[in-house]
Amino acid sequence: MRIFIIIFVSQYFINSSLLGQTTEQFVDFNGTSSYSDGFFISSNTVAWHYKEVKKSSSSFAVNAICLNKSDSAYILSDTIQGGCSELQFEFLQEYSTNCSAEVFVNDFFVGELISENEQDTVKLVTFSNLQFCKSFVLKIKQKNSQSGQIAIGSISWKSLNCSVLPPFC
């Protein structure tokens, strides 16, 4: 029995090792200075759907996307293969109103992108120790209509392959 447990635990850690990191910089987003709804396919072959989004007026990232000050503003990926063990966001508060955008993976809340009186300050936020095996869907949405416009310059994720699924995957 002890040998079986050691083999299982060893297999889990070997097979759930990080496969690599992917970064989405929204290079293929053809937004304008007006808020709109639509979709695009990124150079990472991920389809992104968006509502009430425009091209950021900030110069911190070439094609940063900006979510409107509306509780219905969001960006949503199609299914991304490879799992997710970590997410990292580069963002800033586009205007004077504080930001609060929620991050969901497979409809599970994983954290918030928050700024308080930090207009034009680039922030980097990481959500670690995520256990989403095989594939996932990512959604970033405004928390409510009082959340200020948030510009997202990039999203990075580390893959997670769980060929032997632990109980929490």
Q: What is the DSSP string of 123-140?
A: EEEEE-S--B-SEE-EEE
Q: Which amino acid is at 18?
A: L
148: which DSSP letter? P
Residue 6 confidence (pLDDT): 38
Evaluate whether residue 14 is within a structural domain: no
Evaluate whether residue 7 is within a structural domain: no
Evaluate whether residue 168 is within a structural domain: no
- Range of lowest pLDDT (8-22, 120-134, 144-158): 8-22
User: Coil, strand, or helix at residue 25?
Assistant: coil
Residue 61 confidence (pLDDT): 87
Taking the CA atoms of 144, 148, 153 and 158 in sequence, report the sign of the dihedral they define. Answer: negative
Residue 9's pLDDT band, with cuts at 50, 70 and 90, is very low
pLDDT tens digit string along 110-131?
999 999 999 989 999 999 999 9
CATH of residue 129: 2.60.120.260
Burial 131-141 (b: 16+ CB within 10 A, else e): ebbbebebbbb
Evaluate whether residue 9 is within a structural domain: no
Residue 18, pLDDT > 50, answer no
Residue 164, pLDDT > 70, answer no
User: Coil, strand, or helix at residue 145?
Assistant: coil
